[in-house]
């Protein structure tokens, strides 16, 4: 079962079957309940994580207790790779936002795998570059954009990362809380409520119970403005 899952992880695409079987034998499954801390900022870490089921939140905690959410990650995503590459403490805190099943691999095994299969290193570099670009964009809009634009970008980020493409747009199966969006956009929950209400009245978002449909027009409007 583990090898079957690993075969679907984009980072491991292209590995020969023998390597997947070897990797599966070296991994350790772990489960975390909703709200449980998986890793802490500045904690020494020796594990690499792959999400098999569930979702995690990656964030920075400020001294005053407030959070800056960097991203939400779901099945097939990986995290914890930075500490494995440079041996330094964790750069962010990660918690489970729902019951989550992870597959872990220890640093020596992970580095050995990189040496034997350079294509994984190439894929990992591409993943790190993608995250760096996303972080650059996030810093840019937090510093330069209006509050309404920041909230809109936060909604789009979640939709692009987690949404399912439909004929109308991207469908988020579990709509984000206003508190989470506020922590992504660097604003207040009340402001998020006002902005989302306006976007829905203008026909860019559609609430469907616990689901949220992000229409294609919202992405077009954001890219144009």
Q: Report the alpha-carbon angle 142-146-147, nearest 5.
A: 80
**pLDDT tens digit string along 35-69?**
999 999 998 888 889 999 999 999 988 777 788 88
Distance CA 218, CA 54 (A): 27
Is the per-residue pLDDT at 107 higher than 60?
A: yes
Place of tokens 């939140």: 57
Least-confidence region, from 56-70, 91-105, 199-213: 56-70
Q: Which of helix, strand or coil describes residue 72?
A: strand
pLDDT of 95 > 90? The answer is yes
Structure tokens, 184: 């992504």
Count how many Cα atoms sit within 13 Å of the Cα of residue 211 in the half-sphere of its side chain.
Answer: 13
What percent of the chain is modeled with pLDDT above 70?
Answer: 94
In whole numbers, what is the pLDDT of the chain averaged over residues?
85
Task: Give the C-alpha separation, 169 to 146, whole Å.
Answer: 24
Inter-residue contact 91 to 72 (CB < 8 Å): no
- 65 vs 47, 183, 218, CA distance in Å? 26, 12, 32
Task: Give the residue from 44, 28, 19, 163 showing the smallest Cα distance to 101.
Answer: 28
Q: Contact, 214 vs 173, CB < 8 A?
A: no
114 neighbors 120 (Cβ within 8 angstroms):
yes
DSSP lists the bridge partners of residue 100 as 32
Tell me how far apart the alpha carbons of residues 125 and 2 are, in angstroms, rounded to a whole number: 24
| Phi and psi at residue 156, to the nearest 5° | -65, -40
Structural domains in the chain, sorted by start: 2-141 (2.60.120.10), 145-224 (1.10.10.10)
Whole-angstrom CA distances from 214 to 135, 173, 176, 199, 200 are 22, 11, 12, 10, 9
Q: How many CB atoms lie within 10 A of CB 136?
A: 10
- The answer to whether the pTM exceeds 0.85 is no
């Amino acid at each position: 079962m583990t090898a079957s899952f690993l075969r679907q992880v984009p980072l491991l695409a292209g590995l020969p079957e023998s390597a997947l079987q070897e990797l599966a034998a070296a991994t350790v499954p772990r489960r975390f309940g909703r709200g449980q801390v998986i890793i802490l900022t500045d904690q020494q870490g020796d594990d690499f994580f792959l999400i098999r089921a569930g979702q995690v939140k990656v964030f920075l905690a400020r001294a005053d207790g407030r959070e800056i959410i960097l991203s939400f990650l779901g099945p097939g995503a990986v995290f914890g790779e930075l500490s494995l590459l440079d041996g330094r403490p964790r750069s962010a805190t990660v918690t489970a936002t729902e019951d989550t099943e992870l597959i872990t691999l220890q640093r020596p095994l992970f580095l050995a795998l990189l040496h034997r299969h350079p294509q994984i290193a190439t894929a990992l570099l591409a993943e790190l570059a993608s995250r760096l670009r996303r972080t650059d964009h996030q810093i840019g809009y937090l510093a330069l954009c209006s509050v309404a634009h920041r909230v809109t970008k936060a909604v789009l980020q979640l939709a692009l990362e987690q949404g399912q493409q439909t004929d109308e747009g991207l469908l988020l199966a579990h709509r984000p809380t206003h508190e989470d969006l506020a922590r992504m956009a660097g604003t207040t929950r009340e402001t998020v409520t006002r902005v989302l209400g306006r976007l829905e009245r203008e026909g860019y978002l559609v609430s469907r119970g616990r689901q949220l449909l992000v229409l294609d027009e919202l992405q077009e409007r954001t890219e144009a403005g």
